[in-house]
Amino acid sequence: MNIIKHRINQIKFYIGKYGLTKTIKKCIKTVLRKIVRFLKGEKDLQYGDYGGWIKYNEPKDADLKIQMKKKFDISPKISVVVPMFNTKEKFFKDLINCMINQTYSNWELCLADGSPKQNENLKKYYEKDERIKYKFLGENKGIAGNSNSAIEMATGDYIALLDHDDVLADYALYEVVYAINKFPNSEFLYSDEDKIDENDNRYDAYFKPDFAPDTLRCQNYICHFSIFKKELMKKLNGFQEGYDGAQDYDIFLRMSEQTKPENITHIPKILYHWRVHNESTAKLNSHAKNYAFEAGKKAIEDHLKRVGLEGEVSPGCIEGIYRIDYKVKGEPKVSIVIPNKDGKEILEVAINSILDKSTYSNYEIVVVENNSETEEIYEYYKKLIKNPKIKIANYNTGKIITNDNECNMEYTKKNKRQVKSGFNYSAIINFGVKNSTGEYVVQLNNDTELITPNWIELMLGFCQREDVGAVGVKLYFPDETIQHAGIIVGIGGIAGNRFKSIPKSGHGYFAKESMIENLSAVTAACIMTTKKIYEEVGWMDENLAVAFNDVDFCLKIREKGLLVVYNPFVEFWHYESKSRGQENTPAKIRRFQGEMSRFEQRWPEILDSGDPYYNVNLSLDTEVYHMKNIKVNYYGEEEIIRKKTKKWGEKNEV
């Protein structure tokens, strides 16, 4: 029943946004595709059927044989380094076998055993292959020390980190070398992962984003299997003491300081399986978890000091996730630009929530009046302009309303004046920004209500960073479900809000809705930028009057090499579309289709290759991070690793 309800909602969505004709065409196309796949003996997978996904997507024996014959232009030696401590024989056997079965052969396995006593039963496994090096240390040097001993044994061009109880896919090293050949400047590589239990059952696949510095600072999403170029590992001088429990987190953070983002390659494939058992990290007792958390907190704090950032690190929404609140420098003025037409009640809620709850004082509210018709809104404007923090900028006349007489005149002339036809959100915002006086600007919808008192400080802390161009927030529907938790480009055809309609108190895919992350875009219902950003990116695109203007704005910011940050710790209620209504008239649908076409022409690359902060294995038909329920054909020669041939920051022209 859930899938039927989902399909009905999809059809309603398409009719509302694309019109009946286009929806019918899409349904026919979908049915025909299913018929063709049925005739081929293929079938769609149910959401959550990970076993089916594995069967459909991962290489078969014939594929592995082809991989073994592949001759690469670049064939680096890869040293897989593994620190050992009281390693179980079964896990060790699985580790050795997964290495021997690799379809890429130029590797070595470096084992440094810090166990109190040497396990003679393991000798029969590591003596199987001359590429396996084993060293008994005679003492436990700790995780960092044991790992460094393994690194000292390595002679390869790349150093790969792996835990002693993890398992690599047979094609893991092949995919790493394939990526190195595709992106020869790669200095660091990482992959997707899943978990495996003691009975070898696989589950809990984590399809990761491309490199995202703020996401990494709040969660070690890279985790176990990762590959460093030898020269980069030398710069890092291996693992550092004092971070046991989070030693890999520390080295990843230091890695991010020593190489450029374009030299970090994400391979969107499940290349290793994180073993879950009674002694694994996933099942640590509460004391050990606290120890690991404190080590991770220290790693982040030390990283922030090294890169010159002041931030307070605290626990996030769940274990393993951190929160960083950056210190605000000075007290810069913030302009809150709110477009409005009539709707006195909703505007009053929005403004009162800001005035009553905000803990930051140096701000102004710029209400952009847009062709209001009711007497009550002009009476309310008379009240607002008495507050020195608030001004009314009339989009229609281009003037600032400063007194009661001007309010009366505007209301009296409302039926006689030459109004600006149609609704153009971008033009209204551009006008409001030009009439603002703050160094920073918040675009805020009039149908919102503030929840978080220190919202401005939390947004400013990020926005003051030189590498950040925009900051977005978390929005809720009145029924206490999520309205916005960031935007993914490609969802629904063009772009869609993540985790829409999941419960406010719940968690979605790996709790992403509740952690600070870098994303390609956030909604303009509440977004903070510097005022100078508007001129630098060419303002909001007034050819995108209603739809996708915020996504386009964020992508233009990204094009400048700046980050977009989603901060879920700033929260608002959002009474969406109360002021404009739904997109359900022929004229609105035609306008939407025109804006969709313009967006597609403006941003073909990201629509083609995929949102770098999403994953090609995840569905674009839903906002809640489901696996694609059909085959993702990207193994073998026809690889799909997100394009890096063009540096992000070069401009696309319409």
Tens of pLDDT, residue by residue over 435-451, are: 999 999 999 999 999 99
The domain total for the chain is 3
Q: Are residues 318 and 410 in the same domain?
A: no
In a domain, 652, yes or no: no
Domain termination residue (choose one: 267, 300, 323): 323
* Phi, psi for residue 293 in degrees, rounded to 5: -65, -45
Domain boundary among 592, 609, 626: 609
Tell whether 303 and 352 lie within a shared domain.
Answer: no
What are the tens digits of pLDDT across the range 339-374? 999 999 999 999 999 999 999 999 999 999 998 989
480 shares a domain with 419? yes
Whether 153 maps to a domain, the answer reads yes
Distance CA 221, CA 215 (A): 8
Amino acid at site 323: R
420/637 Cα distance (integer angstroms):
55
Q: What are phi and psi of 191, to 5 degrees?
A: -135, 175
638 assigned to some structural domain: no
In a domain, 231, yes or no: yes
Angle at 391 between CA 537 and CA 441, to 5 degrees: 25
CA distance 596 to 587: 14
The token pair that represents 460 in the structure block: 């400013």
* Same-domain pairing of 381 and 459: yes
Give residue 364's domain range.
334-609
Q: What is the pTM of this model?
A: 0.89
Amino acid at 24: I
Domain check: are 538 and 451 in the same one? Answer: yes
* Residues 229-254 pLDDT 10s: 999 999 999 999 999 889 999 999 99
Backbone angle region of 223, left / alpha / beta, with phi > 0 → left and psi within -120 to 50 → alpha: left
Q: DSSP class of residue 548?
A: S
Task: For residues 239 and 368, state if they share a domain.
Answer: no
Unique residue bearing structure tokens 């950032």: 309
Q: What is the pLDDT of residue 44?
A: 56
Q: Are residues 32 and 97 in the same domain?
A: no
* Boundary of a domain, candidates 283, 302, 323: 323
Inter-residue contact 407 to 378 (CB < 8 Å): yes
Q: How far apart are CA 504 and CA 500, in angstroms?
A: 10
Same domain, 21 and 105: no
- Between 559 and 595, name the one with better pLDDT: 559
Q: Cα 20 vs. chain centroid, distance in angstroms?
A: 33
| Pairwise pLDDT comparison (461 vs 411), residue with the higher score | 461
Q: Which residue has the tokens 């905000």?
A: 358
**Cβ pair 554, 566 in contact under 8 A:** no
112: domain CATH number? 3.90.550.10
| Together in a domain, 498 and 372 | yes
Q: What is the pLDDT of residue 8?
A: 62
Q: 192, 267 in Cβ contact below 8 A?
A: yes
In contact, 615 and 485? CB cutoff 8 Å: no
Residues 361 and 272 in one domain: no
Residue 638 has pLDDT above 50, yes or no: no
What secondary structure does DSSP assign to 328-386, as a single string? PPS---EEEEEEESS-HHHHHHHHHHHHHH----SEEEEEEE-S---HHHHHHHHHHTT
Q: How many CB atoms lie within 10 A of CB 472?
A: 28
pLDDT computed for residue 20 by the predictor: 73
- Residue 60's CB: how many other CB atoms inside 10 A? 10
Lowest mean pLDDT among 16-25, 117-126, 166-175, 202-211: 16-25
Answer yes or no: are the C-beta atoms of 161 and 257 closer than 8 Å: no
Q: How confident is the model at residue 419 (pLDDT cuts 50, 70, 90)?
A: low
In a domain, 646, yes or no: no
Query: Based on the number of CB atoms within 10 Å of its own CB, is 27 exposed (0-12), middle (13-18) or buried (19 or more)?
Result: middle
Q: 471 in a domain, yes or no? A: yes
Q: 15 and 128: one domain? A: no
- 162 phi and psi angles, rounded to 5 deg: -150, 145
Nearest CA to 516 out of 652, 313, 243, 225 is that of 313
pLDDT at 481: 94
Residue 621 lies in a domain: no
Are residues 338 and 279 located together in one domain of the fold?
A: no
Which long-range contacts does 88-94 make (Cβ < 8 Å, 24+ apart)? 88/165, 89/119, 89/121, 89/122, 91/164, 91/165, 91/275, 92/122, 92/125, 92/164, 93/125, 94/167
Asked, for residue 54, whether it belongs to a domain, the answer is no
Which among 193, 281, 295 has a CA at the least distance from the CA of 251? Answer: 295
Say whether 224 sits in a helix, a strand or coil.
coil
Q: What percent of the chain lies above the pLDDT cut of 90? A: 70
> Do 358 and 251 touch, CB atoms closer than 8 A?
no
